[in-house]
Amino acid sequence: MTLNHTTHGAVALLELNRPEVRNALSTEALDTLLNTLITLGRDDACRAIVLAGAGPSFCAGADLSELRDFDDAAFAAYVERYRTLGGVIRGLGKPLIAAVHGHAIAGGYELMCLAHLRIVATDAQLRVGDLDIGLSPTSGLTWILPRLVGLGRARWLLLAGPTLSGDEAVAIGLAEESVPADALRERALTLAAAIAAHPGLGVRRTLELLDASAESSYDEAVAAELVAEYETFAHPASRAAVNAFFKRA
């Protein structure tokens, strides 16, 4: 089984499960992850997802033992999965939180960046790594990374390939929080549960607005916010949340 899936209330915990190869992403592992995320995206009972790795590392990237035997067509089909994965995560409508420990390299680094939020272990080792084997990034990393850390730092991360700790990743905006490795899973699940407690439509529309804002003008962003605001205000979950606030007061 390449992926463990457990449920914690409204939070799904997905654990990459190939620890013997630092959770390297084989074709099977990518397909399983993709299919599981698609299913969870359609599941209203799931309100947030945590993605972690079994064993000593989050994910060491592509399974090179598989890649070395690919012809051009097989390689094209493999990397197309990364593009599909990015689109699926972007359209989830609920947050995906990466809980990153040990190594996150190449495809594992990209998987971390595709997540909506990143909680990393203080002693994590994060490195792009694609250039080590002469490859360029995929999965939209050249679009995502400058928006996380700025264009100059994105160039530095991609071309110089430094290995960053969790604290260093937080300092440049690559990750949101850095915690000791033994507290990582609990912190990610706690954060996911807190987000999952909010009315789901508000969370979904917020994620959609943030994605759209990267490609829109200020006026377009404000107009889209107003449409979403009307929609969420009219939803019963929003009314219930307002009523609950006054009951607590």
Q: 177-179 and 117-121: which strand pairing?
A: parallel
Tokens for 162? Answer: 């430094």
Q: Which residues contact 56 (CB under 8 A, 6 or more apart)?
A: 19, 22, 102, 103
pLDDT classification of 241: cutoffs 50, 70, 90: confident
**Count of beta carbons in the 10 Å neighbourhood of residue 107:** 29
Q: Does the global pTM surpass 0.85?
A: yes
CATH superfamily of 3-196: 2-enoyl-CoA Hydratase; Chain A, domain 1 (3.90.226.10)
> Position of tokens 């759209």?
212
pLDDT at position 33: 97
- Give 175's DSSP letter: -
Read off the pLDDT of each residue in 161-172 and give the average, rounded to a whole number: 98
- Residue spans of the domains in the chain: they are 3-196, 200-248
| Whole-number Cα distances in Å, 86 to 33, 56, 139 | 12, 25, 6
Q: State how far the Cα of 51 lies from the Cα of 216, in Å rounded to an integer.
A: 30
Question: pLDDT per residue over 104-143, tens digit each?
Answer: 999 999 999 999 999 999 999 999 998 888 888 888 999 9
* 78: its two tokens: 């493999």
177-179 and 125-127 beta bridge pairing: unpaired
What are the start-end ranges of the E strands in the chain? 3-8, 11-16, 48-53, 96-100, 103-105, 117-121, 125-127, 177-179
More confident residue, 132 or 49: 49
State in Å, rounded, how far the first CA of the chain is from the last one: 48
Averaged over 154-181, what is the pLDDT?
98
Compare 242 and 157 and report the one with higher pLDDT: 157
Q: What pLDDT is stored for residue 192 in this prediction?
A: 98
